[in-house]
Amino acid sequence: MIRRWCERAIDVRERELLPALLAVALYFCIMFAYFILRPLRDAMGLDGGVDSLRVLFLVGLGVMVLANGAFGFLTSKFSRRLFLPCVYVFAICSLGVFLTLFLTGTGEASPLVGKVFFVWLSVFNLFAVSVLWGFLSDIFSLEQSKRLYGLVAVGGTAGAIVGATYTGVLVKTLGETGLFASAMALLVVVVALVLALDRVARLRGLGAHKDAKGVETMPLGGASLKGIGDVLRSPYLRTIALYVLIYTVMSTLLYFEKNRIVDGLATTRAERAKIFATIDIVSQTATIIMQVFITGRLMRTVGVGKLLMVVPAVSVIGFAAITIVPGLIVLAGFEAVRKSTNYALSRPARETLFTVVPRDEKYKAKSLIDTFVYRGGDSLGTLADIVIIAIALPVAALAVPLGLVGIGISWVLGRSESGLARHAEETTHAPADVPALTIEKG
């Protein structure tokens, strides 16, 4: 009875139900852990003032280069069953080090520990989420992703709401050590869920499982930094990278605007963490309402390109609004709408773009775009913010044109994704006596 209701309510087939629910639980736990720590990270980042954040963003970009090389090595040498859990086990060990530092008092006394944690969490979060969506794109087809990714996104948003609420309510009670311990426990659950979803996917024949030994038991192979070459050669991947770059530059500009306002309103780390957590709760609550009632329907009926256009369009309107009516309330409202439309509409649509690329690109090229390009956008946004402040320009002077370019890129990506999907469909159903066509990227 419950199974039939779920299948009707979320448009999931019988063999997909358990993998889909595991994916939801997995994303929930990842975002729960991250949003426990994110307000704390942002509060630590402000210990040196807003100007120190610019340096931390640039350091994060350098660390991202090293992290991409390490991740590329893992995917080249080890199978999915091994390298996926390794990402999260590494996070557990790293948090254990931070927990030890704060238990001994070193973390509280040393501003350097807070800065290192800021960079570490900024890097790890992107890898944790990118690896998850690459994993799901390796399991679910394009058709399945349009039905199921909205549901998976609900799990992530629910985790974000619970995590932000957890920190907002308990930050003064648990302290930093309690928050670190809570996140570590959740990541242990994440590792168990990764292993369970991988096993269920293999048993149910989901994803790329074609040879007798099972594709998932083999490493992806190739050079550690193969993703760089893939992105440079493929017009399709380059366009995705440009979309992510524009999105991130605008996010960074908004981030600095928010931090300048919060820095002027709050004096202690706990007060700042509480404000950041409150903004997160509002944003994620709006997101989950959209995901439950809108995302799944639009993913199936509206083209990917149109969904990708939503966030750039919202950004154009929002940046114009905060320039005309500056203040925390307008800015918080803009951020809430922008984040909710991104998580509910544009992000799931963006993840479907990778269901039509070769398997190794789902991990290596996708990881490069989601991490290095993302942090590169942070760095560009940081430099842009410096210039804007120096010449006393309103942030909208840069953000609005970028948003308009983002709308155009969204249209291009929608057409490209549709073309690749049709080409793959024609190749799959080509007659046996007719040579299969080679899919050109782009």
Pairwise CA distance, residues 420 & 236, whole Å: 9
Phi then psi for 441, rounded to 5 degrees? -75, 135
pLDDT digits (tens, 9 = 90+) for 111-137: 788 888 888 888 888 888 888 888 887
Averaged confidence pLDDT in the chain: 79
* pTM summary value: 0.70
Query: In this predicted model, what pLDDT tens digit does every residue of 364-382 receive, in sequence order?
Result: 788 788 888 888 888 898 8
Continuous segment of H or E residues that includes residue 403: helix 396-428
C-alpha distances out from residue 87 to 79, 124, 188, 235, 281, Å: 13, 9, 12, 29, 27
Domain residue extents for the chain:
2-428
Q: What tokens were used for 167?
A: 């920190």
Q: Which residue has the higher pLDDT, 397 or 421?
A: 397
* pLDDT higher at 241 or 360: 241
pLDDT at 442: 32
Q: Which fold has domain 2-428?
A: Growth Hormone; Chain: A; (1.20.1250)
Give the residue-averaged pLDDT of 394-407.
93
Give the pLDDT band (50/70/90) at residue 440.
very low
Q: Select the highest-mean-pLDDT range: 139-148, 212-221, 276-285, 334-343.
A: 334-343
DSSP class per residue in 281-314 = HHHHHHHHHHIIIIIHHHHHHS-HHHHHHHHHHH
Q: State residue 34's pLDDT score.
A: 92
- pLDDT average, residue stretch 25-39: 91
Rank 122-126, 273-277, 422-426 by mean pLDDT and report only the highest.
122-126
> Cα(287)–Cα(292) distance, rounded to whole angstroms?
9
434 pLDDT higher than 50: no
Q: Under a CB-based contact definition with an 8 Å cutoff, are residues 193 and 25 in contact?
A: yes
> Does the pLDDT value for residue 88 go beyond 80?
yes
The Cα-based distances of 162 to 35, 188, 277, 296, 381 in angstroms read 8, 18, 10, 22, 29
Comparing 177-186, 200-209, 225-234, which segment has the lowest mean pLDDT?
Answer: 200-209
**Of 232 and 31, which is predicted with more confidence?**
31
Is 361:233 a contact under the CB 8 Å cutoff?
A: no
Give the range among 116-130, 213-227, 236-250, 332-346 with minimum mean pLDDT. Answer: 213-227
Per-residue pLDDT for 214 more than 60? no
CA angle 67, 63, 94 (to 5 degrees): 70
DSSP classification of residue 435: P
pLDDT at 283: 77
Mean pLDDT of 229-256: 90
Q: How confident is the model at residue 92 (pLDDT cuts 50, 70, 90)?
A: very high
Q: Is 236's pLDDT higher than 50?
A: yes
Quick one: average pLDDT of 391-400? 89
pLDDT top residue among 404 and 70: 404
State the CB neighbour count (10 A cutoff) for residue 49.
11
Higher-confidence residue of 220 and 165: namely 165
pLDDT at 226: 66
Averaged pLDDT for residues 100-112? 73
From the CB of residue 217, how many other CB atoms can be counted at a distance below 10 Å? 13
Averaged pLDDT for residues 48-56: 71
What pLDDT score was predicted for residue 250? 94
Cβ atoms of residues 108 and 176 within 8 Å? yes
